[in-house]
Amino acid sequence: MKKYLALTLLLMLAVFIAACAAPTPAPTKPPAVQPTAAPTAVPAKPTEAPKPTEAPKPTVAPTAAPAKPVEIQFWTSQSQLQDEALKKLAAEFKKQNPNITVVVTYQGSYSDAYKKITAAIAAGSPPDIAIGYPNTIATYIKSDAIVPLDDYMKDPKIGFSDADLKDIFPAFIDKYPLYGNKVYSLAFMRSMEVMVYNADLLKQAGLAKPPETYEDFLKVCAAVSKQPGLPCYEMPGSGAASTFATWVFSRGGDLLSPDFKSVLFDKQAGLDSMNFLNELFTKKYAILQAKSYQDQTDFALGKVPFTFSSTAGLPYYIKAIKDAGNKVTNWGLAPAPRTIKDPVVNVYGPSTAIFKTTPEKQQAAFLWLKFLMSKDANAEWVKTTYYFPARASTKEALADFIKANPLYGNAYEWLKYGRSEPQFTPAWEPIRNAIGNAMVAVANGKATPEQALQDAVKKANDAIAAAK
């Protein structure tokens, strides 16, 4: 798996470089953890990619519209701005495909949606298509509820052309090694875990740029803590598992073995990450957020200099800062601190899977998913959500957006430093929960880093055994 994921990101990087010259979540705000989306080694320097002019131009495959009206149920965990964007796209899709109606329905958080979908599968009435992280989609595959997409993708009438497949980043096509390496889901969005920082508070602490090492991070925290009531970092409770993964990656560590059979986050990089968290809380440099997304609000009020978040949270940070009266004017995004040479970012995000229903609904669902991955539709989605697009060519349609949103543009360039969580196994969801709970136990002083880590390892091993 390690080799496969590393190769996947190398391919993704090569396509990114070919597509660009040179130059980051409030009721379903995309959660700061997951997935996710969801390689286990820092990518090697890629080989030289072809010039942008040599990149293939995507073609539009013919659409085989259903002969009779079809309505498909699309379950999501996207609300507010994202829900509105999906419904607008569904309306545009219907204009192009009059016989297909897409009903976009928000089902709560990813955890809530997972529970609802699991219950619907058991009742024999799953949605036609749904968004979820690959690790939860893997559990649906195990239940024989998901349609493999390989044949749809190859279909000469409705599938992807060769040029399309060269234009779509390989990391957005989800192959599941535990299930015949078939494609069971596709992604039209990805994000990454980044450090959000208040530059003015850093300057007051004597740092001219965001900390690149954990030692510098702690120096800022020591200086900030001298101001009463001003913590350095606000942790989103048990939802910080992706932050832990980022910290492990940035120390050169891994989470699971390539075959998903062994735990690796209990090695030195994992212990150092838990010790770092423990130091933040024992020195009162950090606090647990009181309610969901409170870290965004507190950051916007200038009450905390650091948070860790998905880049998909950018529009919500922007809105929070505006709603707070623009008290914070000098802020930015950066990769997490590190002990290794190059930066590392945890690239993750949800994917979309089609459920076994009827041939007509399955085909309509695939056409809808293909539409979401098209250049223009993908660009509209990105402009609302700040996710990264599925196609290299989409960046052309985002030129003005990137120019107007340099934070997003900067993060786009960090994709070459990307690594991903081991998300293609059903074991990863309970493992993530175990890691998140271990972090809370350390934060609350109810367990030492060693105790919390070993408890998470035991639960992880149980999850791995159950996934076989």
pLDDT 10s digits, 67-120? 799 999 999 999 888 999 999 999 999 999 999 999 999 999 998 999 999 999
pLDDT at 239 over 50: yes
C-alpha dihedral (45, 47, 52, 54), degrees to nearest 10:
-170
Handedness of CA 430, 390, 64, 70 (dihedral sign): positive
Cβ–Cβ < 8 Å for 386, 311: yes
Separation of alpha carbons 108 and 220, rounded Å:
37
DSSP string, 188-239: S-BEEEEEEEEHHHHHHTT-SS--SSHHHHHHHHHHHTTSTT--SEEE-GGG
Query: Is a pLDDT exceeding 80 seen at residue 359?
Result: yes
Closest C-alpha to 367, from 59, 58, 63, 60: 63
pLDDT of residue 225: 85
Write down the number of H helices and E strands in the chain: 19, 13
Q: pLDDT value at position 229?
A: 79
**Which residues make up the CATH 3.40.190.10 domain(s) of the chain?**
53-190+349-419, 193-346+427-467
CA 18 vs CA 11, 13, 23, 50, 53: distances in Å = 11, 8, 13, 6, 8
Residue 459 has pLDDT above 60, yes or no: yes
Percentage of the chain modeled with pLDDT above 70:
86
Q: Is 193-346+427-467 assigned to CATH 3.40.50.2300?
A: no
**pLDDT given for residue 65 in this prediction:** 65
Q: What angle do CA 109, 356, 143 make, to 5 degrees?
A: 70
Name the CATH superfamily, with its identifier, for domain 53-190+349-419.
Answer: Periplasmic binding protein-like II (3.40.190.10)
